[in-house]
Amino acid sequence: MRSSVLLPLCCVTLIISACSGETDNASNSESNSEAADLTPEGPSLTAQLLGGGKPMPLQVQQQFANGMIIYITAIQAKPTETVLTVKVVNGSERDVELEWTRQKTFLVAQGQKFFLSAPIENPDLKVTKGTTMDGNLVFLGTLPKGGAVTLVINDGQSDGQYSGSPGIGIPLPVTETAWSDDGSKKNYQV
């Protein structure tokens, strides 16, 4: 009689152990599926953005008539903003302001303007003569997929030799291949 009682207890113990192991595996696969984008709608919004949300390297250099040079080294689209990585070398004989009047520096894509969110500590983007400014310019909004992108600085101003607030439009070589449709490894990475 004792051996018949032990046998069912051993079977119950094995079944409980097996069930708990399957539960752990099920919870592990659930957490793994949460990390992967397996939604029937397709890739996430971030994966559809420029470079899957990663900066796309650029090599844009623009010299101004007053001696200032701007280098644009990367662009990154995010769900609510677009970021340009820039370096400005002020070779002018005077201080220069890249955002002389509010909402005159912006990105243009497919006829839409994406305005600069100027930093609080330097809202005019003033670059003192003989100095260099490195940083990110943040533009509010997400660039629409495809098409030309232009950086407009001090819209309505001229690019003159003695200008302290030069105006210029700079085309950015952002191509269709820069936009990601699935977040795969084919995206640009820095």
Residues 143/149, Cβ–Cβ less than 8 Å? yes
Cα separation, 178 vs 190, in Å, equals: 13
Confidence at residue 148, expressed as pLDDT on a 0 to 100 scale:
87
CB 118 within 8 A of CB 99: yes
**Cβ contact 165:36 at 8 Å:** no
Q: What are phi and psi of 43, to 5 degrees?
A: -60, 155
CB atoms within 10 A of CB 34: 9
Residue written as token pair 């030309």: 148
In CATH terms, the fold of domain 46-178 is Immunoglobulin-like (2.60.40)
Question: Quick check: 117 pLDDT over 80?
Answer: yes
With cut-offs at 50, 70 and 90, classify the pLDDT of residue 175: low
pTM of the complete model: 0.67
Rg (CA), the chain: 27
- Does residue 75 have a pLDDT over 90? no
Which of 2-11, 74-83, 106-115, 120-129 is least confident?
2-11
Which tens digits make up the pLDDT trace of 90-101? 999 999 999 988
Say yes or no to pLDDT of 184 above 70: no
What's residue 6's pLDDT?
A: 42
Mean pLDDT of the chain: 74
Q: Are 149 and 79 in contact (CB under 8 A)?
A: no
